[in-house]
Structure 1
């Protein structure tokens, strides 16, 4: 008997084992950004085929997870890094205005989803919480008062209060004021318009909705490669991690929303817009209170001022949170360093992100950011007791046995060449990189991120689907009444929106009397 042995190349085996599918839209990553974009697109184009790939076993497990971010509905009510003091001593609130308006867009869209019964029980993902800024020292108190004066006259920040009276502050933040020296210069601002947002819960709600809306959601599917076809579409090589089979999928439009993992996929796409961009990973850690008696003494999100050399994402804050329907108290974040771009990533993520086209950008950033590197090393070396000493700047009588540590999510800060900062400038915001023809977009960066997800995804849609924008406008205005308008320039519309969103999202009731603007 004669035996014939055929040797089949790995490439042919790969093609034989691949499942070839085509779709209209592919979303990579099952976080809040993909959930938001997918929901918007299905409302605007119900007949479009949308496919999602997520390498983990369920949605919202990385940056969107409730334990991996601060849960602050970033509306610039308390974050001092959004209001810089200028050389002439005045306070620039332009960035705060921009972020507040973007958060208002998110609130409108969430309200539409609740009113349309596409998601339910808003109290499961958003709760009303006072947002406060607290500073210590005469110089900082002076700055905070000037900030308050600049913001309180603005309709977006109406209702903000300021106090440097210890008795008033004891009423606002008793846990922070207890056992504090009476002669200490301390002040705070307070806004009752603040929120605590469980972005993990919201992400899961949105994906539950998408699942019932004919969206093909694939968990445990890792996108290994992405490249362009001759017809302009994008082909993805996707590995099913359950059985290690490789599938082939193509789409007219691809959104890369994989958190820290987005940079590698952007690089693999080969688009010119993705070149000369690097990433610097920063990890975080929070102290979590385990004493119910202490937890019950605080009910606010209180943001302090970042230390010199600290990145903006390391602004210290003492936060009341509701996680899994349980009241929690967290303090942090303490910055750290890991070469991973995701908590579930690889220790080689940073090294493999360095390419010939971005190596000079990365090296330039390294030379510029020596103070940040020193700060991160110091943070990594902190003992629990040293972290407790930082906590005691907020809670003077904090006891070590009442607090445990939890590792938060990974953030990858964008490094790129800019006109203002020169080569290798470290960015601390949220950025979208889009191909010139709009066929692919990738989300990079960090805060304010999730809070402005709707605004960011609307921007993606405007850039990537310009031919549809005009026909979509009536539906977009139904979902987001302020679409295309400035709320600052339309105070009556702002008033209507604040009243309606507060009612729909079961937040603190806002009366028209409270919204009379000067």
Structure 2
């Protein structure tokens, strides 16, 4: 230890002021209010990277409309097991937000969550057949009751007039619709949660960049932090550290040196959305409508036309268009990808590069798309779309996890993953979709893995906050109805 160096001790350090740290901090303050928590964020405000409302789709992902969460088995039946899992996870988030709103710990839930129909839309006989079978399987399940299906152009014109207008093709089309979907402004939610944490005496240091993380001789963690405003270096000690820095989590995890950080790489994917600037067009669409990803496209590139509520105003977004940037964060460095390659993950990264040549070609093609080419893709959804009505915004960066699995070396993972040390003293969140929608489920996993001695004592409080904790709602229709009714009332989703 350097002579004269000041070390500040705390119970918990959260790195990154996004939705994940906000959720974990709020859970810990409810379960262990006496614990001291410090948050370090390199940007000037909370929720400015992946959690920001312009950097994600704003969908309350619950598998109501996302076709990539259901698959067709060889016998022609539909596997909905992943859809059930995703829906159950979102129900946990709804309950937690409802608890916070009902306890007046956060205010005005309509500022971050609104009801919006979720729809799936397909074209072509094969896709229509798949969608109908998917509807028949899902609609008979308690979690998806209320879903409707139609291949009748008149009914579809009633549901989605903007999408149907000017559609000259005789190709079969169909859609499903369910009214219990949500639009979630994760930026507004994140800011509300950090306001709550500030009221709970959590210290939140913005413009503070974490430079290093080291294990000390007594088993705690020393976090080296730079104050970007004055250049001062600070050293903070904690028994538990959570790395929730979005795409920046992987480099910080690598700095810890824990065995669990080895043989993991990251593949950055950027995104663009098209935003409608014509209020008359915006007013003619009221739904989140998801289509099917093109062959060879990654799951996060499923095209969708979304009604969104951003900065108190209804808007309309289409996308995402995928792209490639070596940055791990929107505010990151072009050297992020190169710096993440280490001796322990070099072969893993090389194997992924060989396996993912088709994906790489797809991303390059997406990067090279002209505005008019993007308009052509939009017109597959909105045939009468006019270029003058649509602008382009750059969305957030996502870093997909690459690791060695049973499927082989260098497997690209399209999901969210928690990496923890063997003793549970440090945890990091990696990956992307469905991400923010399942923040509560993921942070409950962190609590279970990292605080096994406390979790038993915490369970009664967790059950008070989240009544379905540990109980599959799919197998408990009465509890499901109770939870849905209560959360809809508190969050204003009726």
User: Which bin holds the TM-score, normalised by the shorter protein?
Assistant: over 0.9
1:488 equivalent in structure 2? 474
Matching residue within 235, 257, 275 for 1:248: 235
Matching residue within 283, 290, 300 for 1:313: 300
Matching residue within 374, 377, 388 for 2:361: 374
Match of 1:284, SS state, is strand
Does the 8 Å contact 1:274/1:433 carry over to 2? yes
| Alpha-carbon shift at residue 90 of structure 1 (Å) | 1.1
CA offsets per residue over residues 128-151 of structure 1, 9 Å max, x none? 000000000000000000100110
1:478 equivalent in structure 2? 464
Does the 8 Å contact 1:19/1:246 carry over to 2? no
Matches within 5 A, 1:333-412: 333-412=320-399
Matching residue within 195, 199, 209 for 2:196: 209
| Alpha-carbon shift at residue 19 of structure 1 (Å) | 3.5
Distance (Å, rounded) in 1 between the aligned partners of 2:379 and 2:166: 11
Is the counterpart of residue 110 in structure 1 residue 97 in structure 2? yes
2:492 equivalent in structure 1? 506
After alignment, is 474-483 or 177-186 more displaced?
A: 177-186
Matching residue within 48, 66, 69 for 2:56: 69
Distance (Å, rounded) in 2 between the aligned partners of 1:239 and 1:376: 35
Is the counterpart of residue 451 in structure 1 residue 437 in structure 2? yes
Match of 1:355, SS state, is coil
Does the 8 Å contact 1:166/1:182 carry over to 2? no
Match of 2:190, SS state, is helix
Does the 8 Å contact 1:134/1:302 carry over to 2? yes
1:49 equivalent in structure 2? 36
1:285 equivalent in structure 2? 272
Match of 2:132, SS state, is helix
Distance (Å, rounded) in 2 between the aligned partners of 1:373 and 1:130: 34
Is the counterpart of residue 220 in structure 1 residue 207 in structure 2? yes
1:433 equivalent in structure 2? 419
What stretches of structure 2 of length at least 5 have no aligned partner?
none
Distance (Å, rounded) in 2 between the aligned partners of 1:442 and 1:241: 23
| Alpha-carbon shift at residue 182 of structure 1 (Å) | 5.9
1:323 equivalent in structure 2? 310
Is the counterpart of residue 82 in structure 1 residue 69 in structure 2? yes
1:6 equivalent in structure 2? none
Match of 1:145, SS state, is helix
| Alpha-carbon shift at residue 181 of structure 1 (Å) | 2.0
| Alpha-carbon shift at residue 85 of structure 1 (Å) | 1.1
Please tell me the root mean square deviation across aligned C-alpha atoms, in Å.
0.8
What stretches of structure 1 of length at least 5 have no aligned partner?
1-10, 509-518
Distance (Å, rounded) in 2 between the aligned partners of 1:225 and 1:396: 52
Greater gyration radius: 1
| Alpha-carbon shift at residue 260 of structure 1 (Å) | 0.3
Count of residue pairs the alignment pairs up: 494
Does the 8 Å contact 1:126/1:198 carry over to 2? yes
1:3 equivalent in structure 2? none
Q: Could you tell me the TM-score, scaled by structure 2's length?
A: 0.99
